[in-house]
Every structure is written in C-alpha cells, then in structure tokens.
Amino acid sequence: MKEKLTRYRTLFLSTLKLSAFTFGGGFVIIPLMRKRFVEELHWIEEQEMLDLTALAQSSPGAIAVNASILVGYHVAGVMGALLSIIGTVLPPLVIISAISMFYTAFRDNAIVGMAMTGMLAGVAAVICDVVITMGKAVFQKKRVLPVLVLLGSFIAVRFFSVNIILVIFACGVIGAMDTLYQERAGRRA
C-alpha cells in the first residue's frame, strides 16, 4: 500500500512539475515525459512511450493532457490517470487565471512581447529534438514500411491537402494489418 501511495505521489508531482515548467505545448512536454518516465524512473519502455505518444497525438484534445492520461493509466491505472490529469492541468489553469486578471498589461508590454518572441525559438528547438529523438527509434528498426507510411503521410497532408483524419485512419489500418502480418509471420517461424 505504501509503495502504491509513493508511486501516486511521484506520478502527480512529476506531471505537476513538468506542466508547470514547460512552455510551448504538448510537443515540448513529450520529450520531458520521456526523460522522466523512461530514463529516470524506468516505469515505461522506449517503445511504449512511442506508442503512447502516437495515441496521444491521434486522440482529440491537448496532446499534453492526452499523454499524461495515457502515461498515468499505464503506470498506475485509473487513479494514476486521474492524478496525472490533475497534475498536468493545474499549473496552466493557475497561470492562465493569473494572466487573465492582468491581460491588458501583459498584452501591451513590449518586454513581455519580446520574451514571448524569444521563447518561440526555444520551442522550435525542443520540437526538433522530439522529432529527431523519436524518429531514431523508427529508423533504427531497419523496416521500410514505417518510413514509407511516415513519408506518405507527410506528402498526403502537405502537398495534396488530404484531411488529417483520413491520414490517421489510413495509418491505423496499415499499422493493424502490419501487426497482424508480423504476428502471423512470428508464429510460422
């Protein structure tokens, strides 16, 4: 029981800290969650984190909240999901509530505007880090299909303006078919 409470507390405080000190949205919090839960606490495997991230991105809503729900549930069940939601949502709720009281002063302040512009560069760097770090896992498997799906999805959305919902659905179908094929091939071997 004590170990369970310690895990709950660690999960809540981790998501609270990550959410409180992360600027730039869900794509910024994902590598920090990976570092905390995969590398430091060893609660999640690298591949599981990739899978949870893919689910969080394809689910409706904020990616940071979706990822925290999935990580919390994976680590500690329903109670873990609830605690991680609270830990993730609480800091932005408090910060946005405080900023809304002083919105006019913030909006017109040149220093705040310059600081926000400077933070955009940091956010872009973190997003590039996410792409490179998580992309390595896809390319290291030496399988062609994930790379083709990645490139095909990019081309479909970027150059042919295919609706992202259709791309997500198609990727899900391709992934399910590939998984079934891999399982059947594994049974035969």
Residue 158: its pLDDT value, please?
93
Which range of 57-61, 130-134, 152-156 scores highest in mean pLDDT? It is: 152-156
Give the integer Cα–Cα distance in Å for 83 and 72: 7
Higher pLDDT, 176 or 105: 176
Give the integer Cα–Cα distance in Å for 35 and 29: 10
pLDDT > 70 fraction of the chain, expressed in percent and rounded: 99
Q: What is the pTM of this model?
A: 0.64
Residue 19: its pLDDT value, please?
92
Residue 189: its pLDDT value, please?
61
Residue 45: its pLDDT value, please?
92
| CA Rg value for the chain | 19
Mean per-residue pLDDT over the chain, rounded = 88
